[in-house]
Amino acid sequence: MKPFDEYSKQLKNYTLQQQPDPYLPVEEYFTCQVANMGSVMLPLLNGWYVHKDSHLTRYENGVVAGSLKAAIQECPELVDAHLNQLAAEDKDDLTASNETQYTDGIFIYVPDNVKVPQPFQIVSLVNSREDLLVQTRNIIHVGRNAELSLIQCDDSSKYGKTFLNIFTGIFLEENARLHYYKTENKEAESLLFHHINVYQKRYSFFLSNAITFNAGYVCNNIHVNLNEPFAEAQLYGLYLVDKTQHCDNRIKVLHNCPDCKSFQLYKGIMDDDAEASFHGHVVVQPDAQRTNAFQTNRNILLTDKAKINTQPFLEIYADDVQCSHGATVGQLDDEALYYLRTRGIGERSARKLLMFAFANEICQHVDIQALKDRLSDMVQRRLDGELTICDQCMMHNADNGHLIFPIDPTKL
């Protein structure tokens, strides 16, 4: 994989949209058909928050959600401390570019003791005939004893090439809980970099589940800071890539204090000439006694040309810890395949069943039932070679054809 600074040199080849598009109702160009999910939608179009009357919505329970640029102007007391903390972080070239050139983004503030009943859904849409650069910045704050479920979708209607450089800062106060789900279904010529920095206080809980269905090149860079005792992070991921697609997951978890837990499980299926990589890094600081940290990456290669680079890594400076890491790379289990064949199941169907069982484990770590069912269905259809970009969550336009990147069913 190229280092980030190599990709940052390509930014000049793309156009950054300086003004938002004229308002159109979101329903005219985007439809989310996850039945019964009841999410509160926060759409971004070409890097700008889409709204009719107000940049920010203030709910009766004190929740604030909407445009980050508007929040900086209207409620700086809720935003400035987080911006300053992000500014103090070390940066690579892409995150530095995002900090200075982001157009807009989403701000969500959940006050103390509020359990948000409906999930919030950030939908990042691209619709441009130009080769478009999208740089957005999101800030999510979940207060003390508060709870939120957040879904983030990256979709597009492809005309030109796209370079998406997204940064999300997540701040969890004491005993806060955030369930964060991300889906990626992009066109073959897209470049997608998503940087997530998470800051957790005592007894907070963070669950992340990122599923990549399609992408030209995608890099998910998650940096979790367990800053106070008894914080916990669970990180799950699934990537299904084929043709010449590439998916890179870079996970770093810092255990900065005692009595914290982290768990990582990432799985991938690669076909054709596709490539994927997993870089998992857990750091246990000297004072972080009684740490529990586990890290696993499992992969299936369907062809001799498919590649995976997996590097789980533990860096431990404390002595009272329970930590493990591991990685597997292989093909489908011959014994399991033989067992299914002896039960009268054809080879092609048996292979698909094994792949679905392998991948669907990640979907089971979704607490929103409607979303869990939909993701399982999308995984099955992706393995069948039926899922388009984006099949259900697509921008509807007469000029936009259905682009299909199937895992070749003739090989299953």
- Provide the pLDDT for residue 1: 47
Cβ–Cβ < 8 Å for 281, 310: no
Sign of CA dihedral 341, 344, 346, 352: negative
CA distances from 171 to 82, 87, 168, 176, 196 (A): 8, 14, 10, 9, 11
Q: Tell me 272's DSSP state.
A: T
Tens digits of pLDDT across the chain (412 residues):
455 667 778 888 888 998 888 877 766 666 665 766 788 989 999 999 988 778 999 999 999 999 999 999 999 999 999 999 998 888 888 999 999 999 999 999 999 999 999 999 998 888 887 889 999 999 999 999 999 999 998 875 555 688 999 999 999 999 999 999 999 887 777 899 999 999 999 999 999 999 998 878 999 999 999 999 999 999 999 999 988 999 999 999 999 999 999 999 999 998 889 999 999 999 999 999 999 999 999 999 988 899 999 999 999 999 999 999 999 887 766 666 655 666 666 666 777 778 888 899 999 999 999 999 999 988 988 887 654 444 443 333 323 333 233 333 333 3
- What domain count does the chain have? 1
- Is residue 106 situated within a structural domain? yes
- C-beta separation of 394 from 388 below 8 A: yes
pLDDT at 300: 92
Q: Tell me the residue range of the domain where 61 lies.
A: 4-333
User: Is 313 inside any structural domain?
Assistant: yes
Q: Please list the alpha-helical segments (H only) found in 223-346.
A: 334-342
The answer as to whether 134 is a domain residue is: yes
> Residue 163: inside a domain, yes or no?
yes
What is the rounded CA–CA span in Å between residue 66 and residue 112? 19
In a domain, 142, yes or no: yes
Which uninterrupted H or E stretch holds 122?
strand 120-125
- Asked, for residue 411, whether it belongs to a domain, the answer is no
pLDDT at 403: 28
Query: What was the pLDDT predicted at 335?
Result: 63
For residue 390, is the peptide bond before it cis, meaning its omega torsion is within 30 degrees of 0? Answer: yes
Residue 346 pLDDT? 66
Tokens of 229: 């005792």
R_g of the chain computed on alpha carbons = 21
Kind of pairing between the strands at 275-284 and 307-316? parallel
CA of 254: how far to CAs of 232, 282, 287, in Å? 11, 6, 12
CB 363 within 8 A of CB 238: yes
DSSP 411: G
Assess if residue 197 is contained within a domain.
Answer: yes
Q: What angle do CA 272, 275, 276 make, to 5 degrees?
A: 135
CA atoms within 13 A on the CB side of 50: 22
Indicate if the alpha-carbon torsion angle 138, 122, 19, 14 is positive or negative.
Answer: positive
- Considering the domain boundaries, does residue 177 fall inside one? yes
Retrieve residue 406's tokens. 């199937």
Q: What pLDDT, on a 0 to 100 scale, did the predictor assign at position 140?
A: 98
